[in-house]
Chain A
């Protein structure tokens, strides 16, 4: 049996998108150190139900750090203090007996609160919809080995593609910028030979859609620090370079009308 902790929690409760929210304090005694952070919240909820109190809504699904559903601010840090770790993989042994833990939803204008700790992140889908794909319809593909991709290129592309779309980068950013998310998808696709035909069209469309929803990047680097997959801020530089180029490439050629 694992050891247990007695904790105090301050949790953001908000009944609905338009209702005001506030912190509520809860005692959480006897939390096993082997429990994950979300299992701790499960236990708190079970106890609330026992007392006939409405449980806390929090986002979660795979609990393996890959689906990107979960994400809350833990003591002001997106996904908590453990580096490269989504909050579902954060375990209670990383806390101490007697700790006060403050739990809030992602805070960003682009992510309105739905209820308690659950927010609406559909703005991220809008960015992908704008151009986050390679436009090859089913059946159009050549033999997979006809497209040779040097290992280093495939690996760097994969580093960017590892993004789980949780939105921690936005939540951690003082400007609520969506640069790391957008740049990761752009570098995944723009670095590959298959992605070249649409490269500049994609970049322009995704960046400008991103700007409709999110704040501006001022290079704080909080995004990379908070990212559960450790996605590098360097991709933002690549995105900015491609965006400037896109403004030249995407101009109509001389002699074309409009």
Chain B
């Protein structure tokens, strides 16, 4: 059974305020009696650690990076939404709420999304006060830009480095608490298990990545702010070390995993150039404002792009979606690119991309205008591909970018394990089946600055004057022993293939069958092949070196092992969800015109999967979603 989602009743505008009033409080003098562990120091983790430290809690923050400022939040380019209505263009909290529910294709909780829109306003204030150098107008007021899926200008930005600046703000706020002693920071420590006693989360087990030492840490509550699992695709825009291990270990200890098949594929990335490719680079979505997407009409086209006459070009988005053209949402743009490439019309040496052409924009507005808008992106493209996008069209292709699925949490951000919380991309809560641009930064900071610091008190209040469980307790020693066994097992396999080999092969399976378009046959095939490859991995992976030093191969092996299990669950979830919604596109469930066909009668819900053991499939629990304010409709962009 799924626990109560604790979604409050009443008018949507009042729910969060009422809920805050009804929750139990911990008085300021008692907060120092509680210890909270925060795993992950990206936007969601650093903001939570900083804020809880300010409130007076004893916080221990863990990151596997050498410093908290490396977290992948740093790579977000475009911006952060805030319903400030500074542009006087009719924006409001309600409109941001509406856009986000619709953008998520009606698979998120209305109450959560409304709360997100409400606190978006406070986030902008907080970040500006911290010194985040947001873009400004000459008069000194804040600038805004518009972003996909919205008809107002509500995105705040700091050049193309908004994620970096917001993360530095949260990191600095946390370092201020490190200085006061309220936050104790552990770097290069990877969480490898959650410790449960009497059904409650009481601590974690970590490996020191420099010395290999395994250690236990106990607390009154544990927060996982450990990001998403986009690297299950091997090639993705995620940083190399992004992984699912923390969330997956929690899943195996009893936390339900929600909507694992909801993974976002971003349409504008630089295509892979060869087998050695280690990751894909995102080019900001804003390029679609001026670039025109096309492929040649002839499969065997050999001419250079600039020599192909208009009559031999297929501007497939403009032809199919005259109203939105190149600005259709991410999922639609990605799927259409895949269709033309799969049909053999791809461009580039590997025929694995489509053109994004700025020739018309340059002719219309002049090179200088285009340079002012996108200069840094063009430069990045040139650096990576060696081609000059001012004279040759860019080549782009979709890539794994963000995961909407994650640990199931209630309205308080608590997982199905009492005392274990999940925030930011690690949880499933706010984006439904598709995330809108400039919303990931907003959600990470909402959870960390303005939601969790309130809701965690409701759980802690009952634990007043109890000590954290001793790390000598059986629950800890058992978890430590499990971790040691796993590590030892990888080193003892002494197989023939590197961890990267298996990750690459797994990624191909996931991309081909659980990627942008899914069907029953493919998913069933994928499950069999993932299992076979997993078996091979556990018998034939070669991890060299020892467990007592820095050993990146060993770290990878553990993460890949968890990706295998996750990939299988993604396939089951995708197979089970017999509808198309948002980023989840089942080829069997389409409208007459080939667009996604949602099934609100049977699937207006969240699937939350419960782990049993290795040999038994996870069982599914369902949370029904109610839409009282934003009435479900078919998304149309034609």
Task: Say whether B10 faces chain A, with CB atoms less than 8 Å apart.
Answer: no
Q: Are A114 and B550 in contact (CB under 8 A)?
A: yes
Chain A residues whose CB sits within 8 angstroms of the CB of B383 once the complex forms: 85, 89, 91
Measured between beta carbons, the chain A residues less than 8 angstroms from B501 are 46
- Interface assignment of A258: CB less than 8 Å from any CB of chain B: no
Q: Choose from A39, A49, A189 the contact partner of B544 (Cβ within 8 Å).
A: A49
How far is B545's CA from A137's CA once the two chains are assembled, in angstroms? 45
Please indicate the chain A residues that have their CB under 8 angstroms from the CB of B542 in the complex.
49, 52
The answer to whether the Cβ of A8 comes within 8 Å of any Cβ in the partner chain is no
Candidate in A39, A59, A64, A93 with the most chain B CB atoms within 10 angstroms: A64
A133 touches B173 (CB 8 A): yes
Top 5 closest pairs, chain A to chain B, by CB: A148-B140, A141-B129, A133-B172, A144-B128, A141-B125
Indicate if the CB atoms of A158 and B137 lie closer than 8 Å.
no
B385: A residues at CB distance < 8 A: 34
Judged by a CB distance under 8 angstroms, whether B25 is at the interface is no
Docked complex Cα distance between A132 and B179 (Å): 11
B175 touching A128, Cβ below 8 Å? yes
Q: Assess the B176–A34 pair: CB atoms within 8 A.
A: no
Known: A64-B75, A158-B158, A192-B131. A144 touches B386 (CB 8 A): no
Assembled-state Cα–Cα distance A39/B384 (Å): 12
Whether a CB of chain B sits under 8 angstroms from the CB of A20 is: no
- Of the candidate stretches B272-280, B363-371, B404-412, B473-481, the one touching chain A is B272-280
Are B549 and A115 in contact (CB-based, < 8 A)?
yes
Q: Indicate whether A161 reaches chain B with its CB closer than 8 angstroms.
A: yes
Query: Can you report 29 A-B residue pairs in the complex whose CB atoms are below 8 A from each other?
Result: A32-B276, A35-B274, A42-B500, A55-B552, A62-B72, A62-B75, A62-B239, A62-B240, A64-B75, A64-B380, A67-B71, A93-B386, A114-B210, A120-B66, A133-B175, A133-B176, A138-B50, A138-B453, A142-B125, A144-B127, A145-B84, A145-B86, A147-B128, A154-B135, A155-B133, A158-B159, A161-B133, A188-B131, A194-B131
What residues of B have a CB within 8 angstroms of the CB of A28 in the complex? none
Query: How far apart are the CA atoms of A61 and B240 in the complex, in Å?
Result: 5
Q: Is the CB of A42 within 8 A of B67?
A: no
Chain A residues near B386 (CB-CB < 8 A) = 33-34, 91, 93
**Which A residue's beta carbon lies closest to that of B277?**
A39
Which chain B residue lies CB-closest to A49? B498
Residues of A within 8 A of B349 (CB): 1-2
Q: Which residue of B lies closest to A118 (CB)?
A: B550
Of the candidate stretches B30-38, B161-169, B567-575, the one touching chain A is: B161-169
A98 contacts B by Cβ under 8 Å: no
Residue of A nearest to B453 (CB): A138
What residues of B have a CB within 8 angstroms of the CB of A157 in the complex?
A: 131, 133
Q: Mark B532-560, 1 if CB is under 8 A from A, else 0.
A: 00000000001011000111110000000
Least CB separation from A59: chain B residue: B66
Chain B residues, CB < 8 A from A154:
133-136
Contacts of A194 in B (CB 8 A): 128-131
Interface of A is mostly: loop
Contact residues, A55-70 vs B (CB, 8 A): 55, 57, 59-69
Structural contact, B140 and A35, CB atoms closer than 8 A: no
Contact B165 A161 (CB under 8 A): yes
C-alpha gap A142/B121 in the complex (Å)? 11
- Min C-beta distance of B189 to chain A, whole Å: 13
Smallest CB separation, B629 vs chain A (Å): 27
Q: In the complex, given contacts A157-B133, A195-B131, what are 9 additional A-B residue pairs having Cβ atoms less than 8 angstroms apart? A: A1-B349, A34-B273, A38-B278, A57-B550, A68-B69, A125-B185, A138-B47, A161-B168, A192-B131
Contact indicator B175/A129 (Cβ below 8 Å)? yes
Q: In the complex the two chains form, is B70's CB within 8 Å of A68's CB? A: yes
B interface residues, Cβ below 8 angstroms from A: 47, 50-51, 54, 65-72, 74-75, 84, 86, 122, 124-131, 133-142, 158-159, 161, 164-165, 168, 171-173, 175-176, 178-179, 185, 187, 210, 239-241, 273-274, 276-279, 281-282, 349, 380, 383-386, 449-450, 453, 498, 500-501, 542, 544-545, 549-553
Determine if B278 and A133 form an interchain contact, defined as CB atoms under 8 angstroms apart. no
Contact count A vs B, C-beta below 8 Å: 219
Residue numbers in B under 8 Å from A142 (CB-CB)? 125, 129
B276 contacts across to A, CB distance below 8 A: 32, 35, 39, 42-43
CA distance A53 to B164 in the complex (A): 37
The answer to whether A136 has its CB under 8 Å from any CB of chain B is yes
A134 to B71, CA, bound (A): 21
Which residues in chain A, 1-58, are within 8 Å of chain B measured between CB atoms?
1-2, 15-16, 32-36, 38-39, 42-43, 45-46, 49-50, 52-55, 57
A113–chain B nearest beta-carbon distance, Å: 10
B176 and A61 contacting across the interface, CB-CB below 8 Å = no
A130 proximal to B (CB < 8 A): yes
In contact, A132 and B70 (Cβ under 8 angstroms): no
**Contact: A144 with B173, CB < 8 Å?**
no
- Choose one: B187, B380, B498; the contact of A46 (CB below 8 Å): B498
Smallest Cβ-Cβ distance to B209: which chain A residue: A114
Question: Which residues of B sit under 8 angstroms from A120, Cβ to Cβ?
Answer: 66, 210
- With an 8 A cutoff between CB atoms, is A250 at the interface? no
User: How far is B74's CA from A142's CA once the two chains are assembled, in angstroms?
Assistant: 25
**Bound Cα distance from A53 to B545, whole angstroms:** 9
| Complex Cα gap A125–B46 (Å) | 14
Closest residue to B69 on the A side, CB-wise? A165
**Chain A residues, Cβ within 8 Å of B450:** 138
Residue of B nearest to A50 (CB): B498
A38 to chain B, nearest CB (A): 7
